[in-house]
């Protein structure tokens, strides 16, 4: 495999680097501080950042040109992500449901009117979207969902509950799956709809997670009326649309640079801890552990390139995305375990405690990393997909 960038990719990198150099400082100073932290801060910051990207022509760069993107190839998308990371550009991943999930889903399946109405505001960052898929009895087994959608004339009347809905409290719109035909077989009776979050009858209750922040929510629907023209695809055929959304959720561009940065930080911590006589950086067991993590990061980087070659050939994300998701999410947890072990008793300190190592970065990242093997499909579910759809093994 040739790892040298093509002239087109090199030109893209140079153009993007210049743009980031010119625009990042302005965005950072507008935020008032370096890193937005709470969900509300992050949403406000991401809206501004996305508007900036849009004005520079960089928002949704992977989207087709006819919808305002730059039709970047998968390899160019990786170059885009690498340059943004190298410049320490803000991370959009947490609230990119509009850009990464809704946009591609509407581009594939939306009506001309839906595309006209929703795609441009997503690119500009005018609309924040949330994803109303999971329910108390339907997570991994999404087709078990029970939130009902009764078709009444030109409306669908929704009753029921979603859960773990990230950013629902800040969202303008929601991609929602409801059961419109309770008599049909599980996957057949579902409909994919676009819901205006200001519609009467919606109650949102934030859930506080392990880290102490409330990113996700319970969302209750009490006779919420959705116009029929907000159905994506056909009535009762929403499962096919959801599959498109989910295939984009696992992604092909994975955060291997973020993990490399974590690893550099952990190695630096090992060097700073201890004293001249006894330092973890000289402990053979610590060194072996960090060496293994370094090998794993390199494997992740190479697997990302391999996956991108596959997507370039097939034109769409496939089940191989599950391998990357499994690799990076479990590696991140192993890294945070290593950081906590190095920190010793300090690992228990809250990120604001003055004695915490590296301003408590490891404590927060350790707690947050628990979520990585759950969202976008748990590790067990990824292993099932790899077994059945990548390796062709029979169902367990
Ligand atoms: C931080 C975070 C943000 C999220 N944001 C959203 C969001 O915005 N919108 C949304 O809709 N959802 C969201 N989710 C929900 C997420 O998609 C679900 O948590 C996930 O799909 C797992 O579903 P569950 O929690 O119901 O667990 P369950 O499906 O009940 O699973 C429980 C356990 O059983 C295992 N298990 C289940 N089925 C199998 C099987 N067939 N084989 C082997 N083991 C199995 C699982 O791996 C898990 O360990 C979010 C979750 C997290 C953690």
d(CA 280, CA 266): 11
φ and ψ at residue 187, rounded to 5 degrees:
-80, -15
CA atoms within a 13 Å half-sphere pointing along the CA-CB vector of 243: 11
**Residues 390 and 323: beta-carbon distance below 8 Å:** yes
d(CA 365, CA 265): 12
**377 CA distance to ligand 1 centroid (A)?**
6
The DSSP string of 234-251 is STTBHHHHHHHHHHHHH-
d(CA 306, CA 312): 10
d(CA 241, CA 190): 10
Q: In a structure prediction context, what are the per-residue pLDDT tens digits for the chain, which is 396 residues long?
A: 667 888 989 999 999 999 999 988 666 655 544 556 777 888 888 888 888 889 999 988 889 999 999 999 888 888 998 898 889 887 665 567 999 899 999 999 999 999 999 999 999 989 999 999 999 999 999 999 999 999 999 999 999 999 999 999 999 999 999 999 999 998 999 999 999 999 999 999 999 999 888 989 999 999 999 999 999 999 999 999 999 898 887 666 677 888 999 999 999 999 999 887 888 999 999 999 999 999 999 999 999 888 888 888 877 777 778 899 999 999 999 999 999 999 999 999 987 788 989 888 899 899 999 999 999 899 999 999 999 988 999 987
Using DSSP's 3-state secondary structure scheme, residue 213 falls into coil
- DSSP letter for 168, please: G
Which ligand 1 atom sits closest to the C-alpha of 130?
A: 8
Active site residues: 249
This prediction's pTM: 0.93
**371 CA distance to ligand 1 centroid (A)?**
10
To test the pocket of ligand 1, the residue of 168, 206, 378, 384 to mutate (highest count of ligand atoms within 8 Å of its CB) is 378
**Alpha carbon nearest to ligand 1 atom 2, residue:** 375
Q: Which residues line ligand 1 (CB under 6 A)?
A: 130-131, 133-134, 139-140, 164-166, 216, 371, 374-375, 377-378, 380-381, 384
* Pairing outcome for strands 173-179 and 129-132: parallel
Structure token pair of residue 375: 């969202």
């Amino acid at each position: 495999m040739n790892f040298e960038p093509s002239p087109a990719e090199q030109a893209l990198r140079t153009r993007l680097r210049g743009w980031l150099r010119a625009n990042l400082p302005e965005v950072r100073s507008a935020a008032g501080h370096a890193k937005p932290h709470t969900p509300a801060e992050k949403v406000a910051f991401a809206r501004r950042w996305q508007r900036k990207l849009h004005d520079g022509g960089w928002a949704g760069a992977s989207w087709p040109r006819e919808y305002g993107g730059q039709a970047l190839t998968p390899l160019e998308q990786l170059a885009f992500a690498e340059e943004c990371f190298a410049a320490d550009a803000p991370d959009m991943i947490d609230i990119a449901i509009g850009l990464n999930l809704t946009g591609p889903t509407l581009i594939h399946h939306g009506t001309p009117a839906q595309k006209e109405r929703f795609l441009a505001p997503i690119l500009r960052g005018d609309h924040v979207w949330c994803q109303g898929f999971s329910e108390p009895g339907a997570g991994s087994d999404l087709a078990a969902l029970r939130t009902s959608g009764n078709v009444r004339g030109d409306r669908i009347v929704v009753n029921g509950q979603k859960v773990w809905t990230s950013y629902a409290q800040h969202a303008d719109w929601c991609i929602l799956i409801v059961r419109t035909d309770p008599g049909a077989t599980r996957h057949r009776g579902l409909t994919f709809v676009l819901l205006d979050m200001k519609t009467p009858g919606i109650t949102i209750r934030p859930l506080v997670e392990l880290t102490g922040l409330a990113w996700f929510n319970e969302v209750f629907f009490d006779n919420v009326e959705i116009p029929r023209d907000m159905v994506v695809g056909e009535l009762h055929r929403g499962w096919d649309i959801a599959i498109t959304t989910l295939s984009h959720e696992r992604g092909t561009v994975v955060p291997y640079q973020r993990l490399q940065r974590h690893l550099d930080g952990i190695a630096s911590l090992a060097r700073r801890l201890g004293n001249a006589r006894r330092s973890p950086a000289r402990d053979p067991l610590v060194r072996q552990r960090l060496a293994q993590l370094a090998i794993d990061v390199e494997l992740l980087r190479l697997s990302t390139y391999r996956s991108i070659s596959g997507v370039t050939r097939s034109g769409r994300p496939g089940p191989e995305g599950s391998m990357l998701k499994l690799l990076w999410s479990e590696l991140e947890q192993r890294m945070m375990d290593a950081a906590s072990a190095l920190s010793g008793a300090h690992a228990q300190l809250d990120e604001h405690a003055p004695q915490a190592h590296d301003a408590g970065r490891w404590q927060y990242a350790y707690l947050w990393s628990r979520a990585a093997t759950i969202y976008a499909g748990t590790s067990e579910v990824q292993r099932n997909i790899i077994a059945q759809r990548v390796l062709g093994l029979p169902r367990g």
